[in-house]
Structure 1
Amino acid sequence: MTKNFFTSDHHFGHRAIMEYESRPFADTEQMNESMIAAWNEAVGQEDRVFHLGDFSFLNKEETSRILSRLNGYKTLILGNHDRGRSRSWWLEAGFQEVSENGIIFKEFFLLTHEPLYMNRHMPYVNVHGHIHGQKYEGNNHFNVCVEHWNYKPVSFETIMDVLTSREAQMGNRSSLSES
């Protein structure tokens, strides 16, 4: 059975991100290899991964090599660091789909790179990246940056479990369980 996964902000090849986010790697090679292994540990060949932006700082050939090693059908939503390259660049590098805008998933989840303003009356959950180790609390935001998930993509089932738990803790009664 195909599973859906979500992740963001790998920053493959980006040395400075290790310092900015206190990533526990000695160098970019170790960071890249660890994140590839973590991805493939979580994601099977038949699974689908939505990457919510800021994938790689490497050239097309090196980015393509990484993508070819990653399991799953890969969709990229362009992040702020991805936008210097065209949609076709990312497709040629190895993503199966590339979106310049957000994607609505299962009619209830807004997939975006940057978190969107969501007031408590909006009926959506914004699954996002961009803010790395920071976190928005509540049922309207879900941060899938690698720093929060041990550098692995997070499954849709895990997202639903966390949101349902938050809902119970906050005493809210929304329609999460119906999604």
Structure 2
Amino acid sequence: MAFKFVNQLFTADHHFGHPLMLQFRPFETTDEMDRHLIDVWNSVVRDGDIVWHLGDFSYHDDARTKSIFAQLKGRKRLVLGNHDLDNRGEIRKPIATLPWDIEPTRYAECKQDGERVILNHYAQRTWSASVHGSWHFYGHSHGRLPEYGRSRDCGIDCADVGYAPATFRQLTASMKDAEVIA
């Protein structure tokens, strides 16, 4: 039996269907934006890959959200963002009913290339094991916050990701000498 290598990729802030995003992205309509985001996702993700989505997945209704989700390759995992929740802090129905690879959560950790990676929708000044050299990926800020030690935005609006999910190596390439945060 052949072993199939599985990549882990990281992304955030797709906001599928959210008209407000058109003010900040080079698309005329949400349909055009959604199509482009689906295409670039599928250009880098293989069927068995794990994609950690760090929040703000979709702003559509149930049917459209399910349709987009079904078009995206990979095993999708969600760290909840503010737009994935309703006003009571509960997961919005269009998000909760999707067949995520694991149950959506507000915080996650994973290992990549022997490194501990802390995942949250929000940027943190310190994070679990930051003093021991762990990494921290987040979304929410749409590329407006600079890297901080071993912490960075991995959302699609960051200039270096081209709207696509990115690997640990891609996200940390310019950060390898980053200081450890106490």
Scaled to the shorter chain, the TM-score interval is 0.7 to 0.9
Matches of 1:41 and 1:17 in 2, distance apart?
Answer: 22
Three-state SS of the structure 2 residue aligned to 1:122 is helix
Give the corresponding residue for 1:158: 170
TM-score for the superposition, normalised by structure 1: 0.84
Q: Does 1:61 align with 2:85?
A: no
Whether contact under 8 Å (1:9, 1:146) holds in the other structure is: yes
Alignment partner of 2:136: what SS? strand
| Equivalent of residue 29 in structure 1, options 24, 31, 34 | 31
Does 151-160 or 86-95 show the bigger shift?
86-95
Choose the corresponding residue for 1:138, options 148, 161, 174. 148
Q: Can you list the C-alpha shifts for 1:44-72, whole angstroms capped at 9, x where unaligned?
A: 11111000000000011111100100000
Query: Are residue 147 (structure 1) and residue 149 (structure 2) matched?
Result: no
TM-score (norm 2): 0.82
Instruction: State how many pairs are aligned.
Output: 165
Structure 1 residues 160 and 140, CA gap change in structure 2 (3 angstroms): closer
- Out of 94, 98, 118, the position equivalent to 2:103 is 98
Q: Structure 1 counterpart of 2:138, which letter?
A: H
Give 1:43's match in structure 2, choosing from 42, 45, 70: 45
Give the 3 Å change call, closer, same or farther, for CA 87–100 of structure 1 in structure 2: farther
Q: Percent identity?
A: 30
Which consecutive unaligned segments of at least 5 residues does structure 2 have?
A: none
Q: Distance in 1 between matches of 2:93 and 2:102?
A: 10
- The secondary structure found in structure 2 opposite 1:105 is strand
Q: Can you give the 5+ residue segments of structure 1 that lack an aligned partner in the other structure?
A: 175-179
Does structure 2 conserve the Cα–Cα contact (< 8 Å) formed by 1:87 and 1:100?
no
Deviations 1:112-171 (A, max 9, x none): 00111228x62322100000021222332121110111110011221242321xx1xx6x
Q: List per-residue Cα deviations over 1:66-88 (Å, max 9, x = no partner).
A: 01000000001110110115377
1:114 matched to 2:114? The reply is no
The 1-side partners of 2:99 and 2:22 are apart by 25
How big is the alpha-carbon RMSD for the aligned residues of Structure 1 and Structure 2? Answer: 2.0
